[in-house]
Structure 1
Amino acid sequence: MWPASFVAAMVFGAAAGWSCVAFPAVETAIAASVLVLGGAIAAGWSPAVAVGALLIAAFGLTHGYAHGAEMPGDSFRSGYAAGFVAGTTLLHGLGLALASALAAFGARKASRVAGGALASFGLVLLAGTLAG
């Protein structure tokens, strides 16, 4: 459900970006989403399904907005959207497969270490957006 909430919200965010709706802090919000997601994975946080879906949908909205706002003006919107939706869905599928494989081999610690690395990267991104 969580990947679907991300992708669905991403489509709505892209529509807002195409429509030139103002979202001046979108890069900061994206960086914060990377930090929060990484921190949640590192901490082993397992929220209720609805809470996780809402949080992840908020992340998807910001990512989608960036895709929509950055779309070249002469692009075919449907094709452009299909590309970033397919790419995002593939990345989510690969991430879920990797997490499942790690869990099957009893390597949950590796997932948490990867979450810590993701959170660290998010912190660097966030610092960059705030400094820039």
Structure 2
Amino acid sequence: MQGFKVRFRLIGWAGILLCMSAPAFAHNIYGNDGFLTGLAHPFFGLDHLLTIFAVGLLGMQLGGRARVSVPLAFLGFLLFGAVVGMLNVPMPLVENGIASSVVLFGAALLMGRDLPLSFAQAFVGIFALFHGHAHGTEIPELANPVWYSMGFVAGSVLIMIFAAAVAWYLSMIETEKPLLKGLGGIIASLGVMLWWF
């Protein structure tokens, strides 16, 4: 019974976190507070939130070095994409790439297959470029680019840590990881819905 209550609370908090976001809100942030604006940015866009959450889960699902290296690969390419966006270098199909990342990362979790580490890093890295470019082009005019970048990286890390905690907890209560795969299915389904918005 106690385990059920803890699981219910965990799912409840995850639901609250997802409900706090709106698909288009991340693309309408204005202000001059730099770090705080950047910190909030990943939380208030369902596309960004789901992708970053999925990357944290995927790293934990793969295990070993992937627990750290897959999220780090995403963060590294995220920053690179942000610099490209801040320099106003055009990148085609950014919104499609972001929506695709939600679907594909969710599908990867759902399949639950072991991916080679280098492939997993490249897989998340490519789509991180799209997310980074979106962050970089949406920087508020009066915000300090460095502080803003530090903020959205910090926000991304917080989401990944939460995802890792969820995956770790699920690993304690199950052996075949059906709940983790189920989360992947939910994420992929929401990603498909994002295509319509």
Q: Which TM-score band (shorter chain)?
A: over 0.9
2:58 counterpart residue number? none
Matched positions, count: 128
Q: How does 1:96-115 map to 2 (within 5 A)?
A: 96-106=164-174, 108-115=177-184
Gaps of 5+ in 2: 1-68
Q: Secondary structure at the match of 2:142?
A: coil
User: Rg bigger for which structure?
Assistant: 2
Determine the C-alpha separation between the residues in 2 that align with 1:125 and 1:46: 27
Distance 2:129 2:113 in 1: 22
| Aligned-pair CA distance for 1:103 | 1.1
In structure 1, list runs of 5 or more residues that go unmatched. Answer: none
Measured after TM superposition, the shift of residue 19 of structure 1 is 0.6
Question: 1:12 matched to which residue of 2?
Answer: 80
The equivalent of 2:121 in structure 1 is 53
* Matched residue type, 2:188: A
What corresponds to 2:146 in structure 1? Answer: 78
CA deviations 1:24-65 (Å, max 9, x no partner) are 310110000000000110111221010000001112111111
Q: CA RMSD in A?
A: 1.1
Offset at 1:126?
2.2
From 132, 135, 138, the equivalent of 1:64 is: 132
Q: Match of 2:24?
A: none
Letter in 1 for 2:115: P
Q: Give the structure 2 partner of residue 88 of structure 1.
A: 156
Relative contact order, CA 8 A, sep 6+: which one is greater? 1
Partner letter of residue 120 of structure 1?
S
Query: Which residue does 1:126 correspond to in 2?
Result: 195
Letter in 1 for 2:100: A
CA distance in 2: counterparts of 1:21 and 1:35, whole angstroms: 26
- How far is the alpha carbon of 1:93 from its aligned partner? 1.2
User: What is the TM-score of this pair, normalised by structure 2?
Assistant: 0.63
1:38 and 1:45 map into 2 onto residues whose CA distance is: 12
